[in-house]
Amino acid sequence: MTRTLRGAIALAGATALCLGAVATSGATQPASAAQGEVRIGLLLPESKTTRYEKFDRPYIEAKIKELAPDAQIDYYNAAESATTQQQQVNTALAKGDKVLILDAVDAKSIQSSVEKARDAGVKVVAYDRLAQGPVDAYVSYDNRKVGELQGKALLDALGDKAGSGQIVMHNGSPTDPNAAEFKAGAHSVLDGKVKIGKEYDTPNWDPNNANQQMSGAISALGKDNIVGVYSANDGLAAGISTALKAAGMNVPLTGQDAQLDAIQRILLGTQTITVEKPYKPEADIAATMAVNLAEGKELPADLTPTTVTSGSGEKVPANLLTPVVVDKTNIKDTVVKDGLYTVQEICTPTYAAACKEAGLQ
């Protein structure tokens, strides 16, 4: 073998060893090391409210895949635990997620996790609830407007009875910043026009807690003295309506989220209205924000047309959508038209007569 040939073989071997070392080194890098990869963590707060698993998650995932077909999506549900959600953020960061779409269980306690994401170079899109800390973008509905619509609908339903009795208010979870906005909006309409006999915050948006609170209010105030109930969402309304039924009562009752059981209660007359916040537009905007950020792009002005201030004082680019009141007269033009439910899903045999009366069948 010539000296030149030996040298070529040695050089080839050294090159192979070098390439092997590079390949091994690359294999140990986190997923975020891949250039151009879109990897997004989706963190939702709970599953008791049907919207998250039935609508939000599939809509967000579908839009991400539409915009970035090769995107990796890591999904987490915190099951109402703020501690679990903090641990899930840690997991998402360890996996190499470039962007987090975060619907906070507790907007205040999650701040340290948002700061940790920022320090790791990971962007955070606050979804539906505005987390504290250095959030990069936020999409939700105009939550104060939700409360105003609920309060007005309750007043309209009470009519002349508004001044003759008391209402009970169930405002939702004290750890949810949206609940405070619903509450403020409702009070801006109701204060001075009705007497509030009992008012509750309902931890974790738990229908069982709302049921117990309503039962306690009926005992304390007397069923003949209660003329209406403000409920911040449909989950609470489910527990409240059970307590009202047990007491032989049927008074105006509000809600929010356009859950299927709420639409059916509206048809039966045991719930007055719900507020629909169409999930797909909100989900599509969140997904679009996340993909843009994951690809290193600036968010266009039409995606964040306004700015909001979080509980920790940050100015956050935001997109706030407009909610819609749903009552017995416009079910077909709202939740059916928007694709939340088909007439067949709503109008099961139990509700057939009410559906026919409402013009759904």
- Digit-coded pLDDT (tens) for 189-216: 999 999 999 999 999 899 999 999 999 9
**Distance (Å, whole) CA 153 – CA 155:** 5
**Distance (Å, whole) CA 265 – CA 97:** 41
**Distance (Å, whole) CA 154 – CA 228:** 7
Please answer whether residues 161 and 227 qualify as being in contact, where contact means their C-beta atoms are separated by less than 8 angstroms.
yes
Please write the tens of the pLDDT for every residue from 79-110: 999 999 999 999 999 999 999 999 999 999 99
pLDDT at 247 over 50: yes
Write the CA distances from 125 to 39, 59, 359, integer angstroms: 13, 16, 41
Q: What is the mean pLDDT of residues 28-37?
A: 49
Please write the tens of the pLDDT for every residue from 260-276: 999 999 999 999 999 99
**Distance (Å, whole) CA 338 – CA 232:** 22
**Distance (Å, whole) CA 257 – CA 273:** 10
Write the CA distances from 347 to 40, 129, 242, 245, 332, integer angstroms: 38, 32, 21, 22, 12
Structure tokens at 262: 């709420």
**Beta-ladder partners of 42:** 75, 101
Write the CA distances from 7 to 1, 12, 17, 20, integer angstroms: 10, 9, 15, 20
Question: Ramachandran region of residue 296, left (φ > 0), alpha (ψ -120 to 50) or beta?
Answer: left
Q: Euclidean distance between the first and final Cα of the chain, in Å?
A: 91
Per-residue pLDDT band for 6 (boundaries 50, 70, 90) equals very low
**Distance (Å, whole) CA 53 – CA 271:** 24
**Distance (Å, whole) CA 104 – CA 90:** 14
Per-residue pLDDT band for 34 (boundaries 50, 70, 90) equals low
Over pLDDT 90: what percentage of the chain?
87
Please write the tens of the pLDDT for every residue from 112-150: 999 999 999 999 999 999 999 999 999 999 999 999 999
**Beta-ladder partners of 44:** 77
Q: What is the mean pLDDT of residues 308-312?
A: 96
**Distance (Å, whole) CA 15 – CA 296:** 34
What pLDDT does 48 receive? 83
Q: What is the mean pLDDT of residues 219-238?
A: 98
**Distance (Å, whole) CA 344 – CA 58:** 21
Please answer whether residues 230 and 167 qualify as being in contact, where contact means their C-beta atoms are separated by less than 8 angstroms.
yes
**Distance (Å, whole) CA 287 – CA 276:** 20
Residue with the two structure tokens 């819609």: 324
Write the CA distances from 272 to 237, 251, 269, integer angstroms: 10, 9, 6
Please write the tens of the pLDDT for every residue from 161-189: 999 999 999 999 998 999 999 999 999 99
Please answer whether residues 96 and 30 qualify as being in contact, where contact means their C-beta atoms are separated by less than 8 angstroms.
yes
Q: What is the mean pLDDT of residues 338-347?
A: 95
| Burial (0-12, 13-18, 19+ Cβ within 10 Å), 197 | middle
pLDDT at 236 over 60: yes
- Residue 323 amino acid letter: P
Per-residue pLDDT band for 15 (boundaries 50, 70, 90) equals very low
**Beta-ladder partners of 29:** none
**Distance (Å, whole) CA 182 – CA 175:** 13
